[in-house]
């Protein structure tokens, strides 16, 4: 059986500017297996030294017992789309939106992000989904090349199986586009996330103002579309992910049969399995399980799916994603630490584990030679408080 974290290499050629030296001392360093009082030095963007002890050299910042941990690695976030389209049919200026998104993530401790972009569109009137991923990705990569971002950005293509243009849109991307993840999404009504048609109707009524007749027509259209070309899209998306050198993820697996299909497709990690049975099948198949931080913090899924804390208690949780609340990622690690009574293990779910799942072996752990992506974290009323965020040794928040 393959490891849940078998890496698929992802190129990382350029990121934010590096400082000369950063030295943090008298800190509780969250290492991979323990919390140790000590100091850490970052030089030329990499961790150069970690040493135990509470001394504070004259060149160091006294952390006064605050935690120092790796920067957070975010695999699935809707945050960029929220900035691009802050209201339905409002197209915000993209450069401004991209920079605001980047700055917001940095302010929450996220130092590596896989920006989720939908590929696969639907024509129509109210319930349409227009192509946008290629154009937005080009703008994102240009801003990155000009060194305007604070943190490290990769692309996450959300391949919508139930769509009209999936393979045409994926063909517009190439191996140089930093596509780190391709997730297989199937939002056909009546299964997976949308198996409850009543919940889907409520969602679309709020988002797209559909009438009863428009909703019925939309559901019928998607079901017919999936029946006609869904299988072709799934096979093609898997092939495209291999061409792009991207890690494959599944989305909203609900049944053991769906997990078996994910295993055959070579899925590395499962985004938000909706049932405990699916999570257990993922564990048996060597597929890492990712759940949403809002689910963990709220104590359950907003759409009635399995609770993240239930999977954590059952030893079925490997990775946490902020999903739709960037600030939730750091908080979720501390909530998870309460469940497991193990802060290093919990922090790994938002650092080392997502980094490994996507082949980023140069970050996610406090270890000499790795990237100097570092957080300084205090606590207020059992809530983490960020006191500093550094990307490759350069302070970004």
Nearest CA-CA partner of 34 in 364, 244, 369, 342? 342
CB-CB contact of 296 with 54 (8 Å):
no
Predicted confidence at residue 1, as pLDDT, reads: 35
CB-CB contact of 36 with 386 (8 Å):
no
Which residues are CB-neighbours of 113 under 8 A, at least 6 positions away? 73, 74, 77, 105, 151, 152, 153, 154
Is residue 174 classed exposed, middle or buried when 0-12, 13-18 and 19+ CB atoms within 10 A define those classes?
Answer: exposed
Whether the predicted model's global pTM rises above the 0.75 cut: yes
Could you list the pLDDT tens digit for every one of the 397 residues in the chain? 333 343 333 434 445 555 579 999 999 999 999 999 999 999 999 999 999 999 999 989 999 999 999 999 999 999 999 999 998 789 999 999 999 999 999 999 999 999 999 999 887 655 567 899 999 999 999 999 999 999 999 999 999 988 889 999 999 999 999 999 999 998 666 565 666 665 665 665 655 666 777 667 767 777 777 767 878 999 999 999 999 999 999 999 999 999 999 999 999 999 999 999 999 999 999 999 999 999 999 998 877 789 999 999 999 999 999 999 999 999 999 999 999 999 999 999 999 999 999 999 999 999 999 999 999 999 888 899 999 999 999 999 9
> CA 262, CA 5: separation in Å to the nearest integer?
15
- What is 199-215 written as a DSSP string? HHHHHHHHHH---HHHH
Q: Provide the pairing of β-strand 288-292 with 269-271.
A: parallel
Other beta carbons within 10 Å of 126: 15
Please report where in the chains the tokens 């072996």 appear, as a residue. 361
> CA 252, CA 259: separation in Å to the nearest integer?
10
CB-CB contact of 271 with 250 (8 Å):
yes
Q: Looking at the domain 72-359, which fold is it?
A: TIM Barrel (3.20.20)
Predicted confidence at residue 73, as pLDDT, reads: 98
> CA 314, CA 233: separation in Å to the nearest integer?
34
């Amino acid at each position: 059986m393959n490891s849940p974290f078998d890496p698929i290499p992802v190129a990382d050629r350029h990121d934010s500017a590096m400082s000369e030296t950063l030295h943090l001392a008298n800190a509780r360093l969250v290492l991979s297996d323990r919390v140790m009082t000590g100091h850490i030095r970052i030089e030329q963007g990499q961790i150069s030294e970690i040493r135990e002890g509470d001394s504070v050299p004259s060149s160091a910042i006294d952390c006064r017992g605050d935690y120092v941990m790796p920067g957070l690695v975010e695999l699935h976030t809707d945050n960029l789309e929220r900035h691009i389209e802050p209201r339905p049919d409002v197209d915000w200026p993209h450069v401004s939106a991209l920079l605001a998104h980047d700055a917001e993530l940095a302010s929450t401790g996220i130092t590596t992000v896989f920006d989720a972009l939908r590929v696969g569109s639907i024509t129509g009137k109210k319930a349409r989904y227009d192509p946008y991923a290629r154009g937005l990705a080009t703008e994102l990569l240009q801003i990155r090349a000009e060194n305007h971002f604070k943190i490290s950005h990769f692309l996450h293509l959300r391949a919508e199986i139930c769509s009209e243009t999936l393979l045409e849109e994926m063909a517009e991307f190439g191996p140089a586009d930093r596509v780190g993840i391709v997730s297989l999404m199937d939002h056909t009504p009546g299964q997976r996330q949308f198996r409850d048609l009543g919940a889907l109707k409520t969602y679309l009524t709020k988002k797209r103002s559909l009438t009863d007749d428009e909703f019925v027509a939309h559901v019928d259209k998607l079901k017919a579309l999936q029946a006609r070309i869904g299988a072709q899209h799934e096979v093609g998306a898997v092939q495209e992910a291999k061409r792009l050198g991207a890690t494959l993820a599944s989305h909203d697996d609900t049944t053991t049969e769906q997990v078996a299909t994910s295993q055959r497709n070579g899925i590395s990690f499962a985004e938000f399995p909706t049932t405990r049975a699916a999570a257990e099948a993922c564990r048996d198949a060597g597929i890492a399980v990712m759940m949403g931080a809002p689910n963990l913090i709220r104590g359950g899924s907003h759409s009635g799916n399995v609770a993240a804390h239930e999977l954590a208690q059952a030893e079925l949780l490997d990775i946490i994603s902020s999903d739709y609340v960037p600030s939730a990622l750091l908080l979720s690690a501390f909530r998870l630490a309460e469940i497991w009574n193990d802060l290093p293990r919990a922090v790994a779910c938002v650092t080392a584990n997502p980094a490994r799942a996507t082949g980023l072996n140069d970050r996610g752990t406090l270890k000499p030679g790795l990237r100097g992506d570092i957080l300084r974290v205090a606590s207020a009323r059992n809530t983490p408080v960020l006191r500093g965020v550094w990307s490759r040794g350069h302070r970004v928040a």
